[in-house]
Structure 1
Amino acid sequence: MRPYVMQRLLLARTEAEIIELTRHGFVAFQKAESPPQKLIGFSAIEIYGPKLAELQCLAVDTEFQGSGVGRQLVEACVARARELNVMEILAISSSERFLQSCGFDYSLPDQKKALFCQLRPRPTEVSNPISMNQNRDETDKPIT
C-alpha cells in the first residue's frame, strides 16, 4: 500500500487500521511457478452495519492495471458484502469510470446525494506516511 500512499492514491493507515482492513480484505498475487509470488493488488470492504459497507483501499500494481485484477478484487468485496447481507456499498475513489463499469453509480434510485463538510484542510503532500511498525500517535487515539 505504501507506494499508493506516497502517490496520494490511498490514505495512510495505522497498523491497527491495516489489521482491521484485512478482516474483509482480499489480495491478488502474480501467478508464479515458484515462490515468492508478487503482490499485485489489494482491496477491502469495511462493514458499517446491515445497511452499508464501504469499498476501501482498492489498489492494483500499474503493470497489471487493465488485466482484470481490479475487477476481481471489487467482485470479491461485493460478494463478501452479499454474504453478510449488506444492502448497499459505498465507494469513494478517483477511479470513477472503473467503478461505474463494476456496477457502482453516483447515487441509487430514489436516493439523496451525499453532502460533505470539510472540517480541516487536506494535506498538500504526504511527508511521512505511517509505517507498518510505527506506534499510533496522539491523532490516532480514540476520543474519550
Structure 2
Amino acid sequence: MENQGKGKNNTNNNNNNNEERNMNNPNQFRSIANLWQQNSPLAWGEMYNEYIQYITSMTEIYKEYIKSSEKMSELYKELAVNTERMTDLYKESVKSNQRMTNHWLNKFPNPSSAKEQSREKQVNKLKDKK
C-alpha cells in the first residue's frame, strides 16, 4: 500500500512538473494569444463583416436567378404559343393537301380501276360472243 501512495505522489509530482514545464514553454503563450486574437471582439467583427459581404453577394446572385427565371418563363410561354400556331398551320396544310389530292383523283381516274373496267368489258364481250 505504501507503494500505491508513493505512486500517487509520483504521479502528482510528474503532473506538477509538466505544468511547470508548460508554463515555461513560450509556445503555450503564443497559442493562448492566437486563441484570444481569433475569439476577440475585433476578430468576431471581421467575421461578421465577411458574413455580411457573403450574404450581400448571395442576395445579388438570387436576384439575377429570379430575373433569368422570369425570362425563361416568358420564353416558354412564347414557345407554347408558337407551337400552337405551327400545329394549326400543319392542320391547314393537311386539309389543303387532301383537297388537292381529291381534286386530282377526280380529274384523272385511277389507272388500276380503268384497267379493271377494260377487263370487265373484254369478259363481257367474250360472254356475248358465246
TM-score band (shorter)? under 0.3
**Larger relative helix fraction:** 2
TM-score (norm 2): 0.16
| More relative contact order, 1 or 2 (CA 8 Å, 6+ apart) | 1
**Larger relative strand fraction:** 1
